[in-house]
Structures are given as structure tokens and as C-alpha cells.
């Protein structure tokens, strides 16, 4: 039985919930942080993962780590802001067989309000965080249409929903991600393509540690604790927690979910104050 082309799950067959056996997933920015956690979790759940990252060596390291634990992974150096390069890499992957899942995660941060965001800063954030997602979805949608559908998951941010101090360009980019997610979900219903997004609050990644070392030398632990307390739950998220939500949204168990954004924010949006 099917509903609008999306296969329904037999509730009696739950032994392999949240598995991705036999599926291939492309994960951008998969060499570090949230992307690396997603790549590892998907591989542990049976998927063959294709890791795209601007850092070729880092991507190879991530793929090697997965292979050493029995998973399947391949690495590709790719700047997602360059459409021709994205298309060339993805066509290589499509040549190996069907891709069932695209996770758009590659992104860059920027700190600054409107007045101290230069045109160069703005364009750089836009090229990676907005155009990069567009480039990857554009190359993937036609493939998914021709192969019976698929799942697209975009990494947004709570910055898309609420005004965060000194995050003008970054917030702009993540608002665009949610808008693109909704548009793709609407336009490709008939093609059996689901598209959702995740909006994390602060996540403890190597980026956070590097930011604290650079901006607060000698005060890293103090500032880490201060930033952690901005989430009502009292801490930052861990990358593996975001990966768990990503796994669910890309699994068959989430077959009735499309056009949705999921906050994973320790209560930041609804429980502050």
C-alpha cells in the first residue's frame, strides 16, 4: 500500500528500524564535526557513504575511519560553491549506482552584524551556505527523479528562526536553507523526493574549540561554560545527537515527513527566559 507514492512501513516489521542497508548517501562537509558524525552513523546503519569535503585529506581520513570499523565509505575533494565541480563529482558517484540520500551539511560561519559584514564576507557565506546547497540539490534531484525518489536533508540553524547577535550573514544563509527546503519539498512530492531540514543550536565541534582558542585565549573553559548555558538544557549538543536525528529523517520510518524543519536546540527556541 502506498500514500502519494511514499511506501508505508509495516508496523510489525520493526526489528531493523532506522537502518539504511543497501542505500547510498552523499554527505557534504562530511570530514569533520556534524558531517563526520552523520557519515559515521549512516555507515554504522548500513549505508555506503560518499563524503564530499573541501579538505581532501580530511575526507580521506574520515572514509578510512569508517572502513576500519567495517563500514563502506568513499572520499571526494569538492568545493560545493563551484557548480561544475559539484556536478562532476556527483556524476562520478551516480555512475556507481543509485544515490538514495543527500545530506547538505557543508557550511561556513561568520561573526558580524550588518555594519561590519563586508561585501566579500557576505558573498563568501552566500556562495557556500546557500549556493552550495543549491548546487548539490540541483545535481541530485534529476538523478533521484529518474531512480524512484530519495531523501534530501539540509542542515540549517536556529539562527534562521531567531535574532542572534553578530550573526547577520550566517542567519541570512540559514534562512535561505529553510526556504529552499520547503520549496524543494513542495515541488517534488510527485517524484517521491522528501526534503527536510535540521536546525541545531550550539553543537560542540572542533570549530567551537578553535573559535574559543582564537578569541578567548586563557579563558576557553570559562567561555565554553557560558556558551553552554545559553541552551536551557545547560549544555551544547554533541555531533552524534544531531546525527541520530539525521538518521531518523533519512530512514524509511520518516516516510511521512517532508517540508519540515526540526530544531535540536536544548530548548533554546521555546524555553528561554
Which pLDDT band holds residue 5 (cuts at 50, 70, 90)?
very low
Q: What is the pLDDT of residues 205-231, one digit of tens each?
A: 888 898 889 889 999 999 999 999 999
CA 124, CA 170: separation in Å to the nearest integer? 10
The set of cell numbers assigned to 77 is: 575533494
CB 249 within 8 Å of CB 257: yes
The arithmetic mean of pLDDT across residues 246-268, rounded, is 97
Which of 48, 59, 64 is CA-nearest to residue 100? 48
Instruction: State the pLDDT at residue 207.
Output: 83
Residue 89 reports pLDDT greater than 50: yes
Long-range CB contacts for residues 211-216, cutoff 8 Å, separation at least 24: 211/109
Question: Of 166, 169, 99, which Cα lies nearest the Cα of 130?
Answer: 169
Active-site residue, from 76, 134, 170, 262: 170
Give me the domains of the chain, ranges plus CATH numbers: 20-264 (3.40.50.720)
pLDDT in tens, 23-52: 999 999 999 999 999 999 999 999 999 999
**Residue 17: what pLDDT?**
77
Chain-wide mean pLDDT for the chain? 93
pLDDT of residue 236: 94
170 part of the active site? yes
- What percent of the chain stands above pLDDT 90? 88
* pTM for the full predicted model: 0.92
Q: Does 143 score more than 70 pLDDT?
A: yes
Amino acid at each position: 500500500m502506498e500514500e502519494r507514492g511514499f511506501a508505508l512501513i509495516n508496523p510489525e516489521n520493526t526489528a531493523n528500524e532506522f537502518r539504511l542497508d543497501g542505500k547510498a548517501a552523499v554527505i557534504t562537509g562530511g570530514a569533520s564535526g556534524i558531517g563526520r558524525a552523520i557519515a559515521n552513523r549512516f555507515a554504522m546503519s548500513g549505508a555506503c557513504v560518499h563524503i564530499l569535503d573541501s579538505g581532501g585529506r580530511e575526507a580521506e581520513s574520515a572514509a578510512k575511519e569508517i572502513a576500519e570499523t567495517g563500514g563502506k565509505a568513499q572520499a571526494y575533494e569538492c568545493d560545493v560553491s563551484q557548480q561544475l565541480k559539484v556536478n562532476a563529482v556527483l556524476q562520478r558517484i551516480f555512475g556507481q549506482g543509485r544515490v538514495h540520500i543527500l545530506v547538505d551539511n557543508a557550511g561556513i560561519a561568520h561573526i558580524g552584524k550588518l555594519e561590519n559584514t563586508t561585501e566579500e564576507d557576505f558573498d563568501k557565506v552566500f556562495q557556500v551556505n546557500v549556493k552550495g546547497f543549491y548546487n548539490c540539490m540541483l545535481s541530485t534531484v534529476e538523478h533521484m527523479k529518474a531512480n524512484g525518489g530519495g531523501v534530501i536533508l539540509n542542515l540549517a540553524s536556529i539562527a534562521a528562526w531567531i535574532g542572534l547577535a553578530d550573526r547577520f550573514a550566517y542567519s541570512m544563509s540559514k534562512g535561505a536553507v529553510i526556504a529552499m527546503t520547503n520549496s524543494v519539498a513542495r515541488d517534488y512530492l510527485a517524484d517521491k523526493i522528501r526534503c527536510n531540514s535540521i536546525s541545531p543550536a550550539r553543537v560542540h565541534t572542533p570549530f567551537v574549540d578553535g573559535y574559543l582558542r582564537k578569541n578567548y585565549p586563557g579563558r576557553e573553559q570559562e567561555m565554553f561554560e557560558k556558551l553552554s548555558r545559553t541552551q536551557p538544557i545547560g549544555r551544547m549538543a554533541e555531533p552524534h545527537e544531531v546525527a541520530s536525528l539525521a538518521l531518523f529523517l533519512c530512514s524509511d520510518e520518516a516516510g511521512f515527513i517532508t517540508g519540515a524543519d526540526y530544531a535540536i536546540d536544548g530548548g533554546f527556541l521555546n524555553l528561554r527566559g
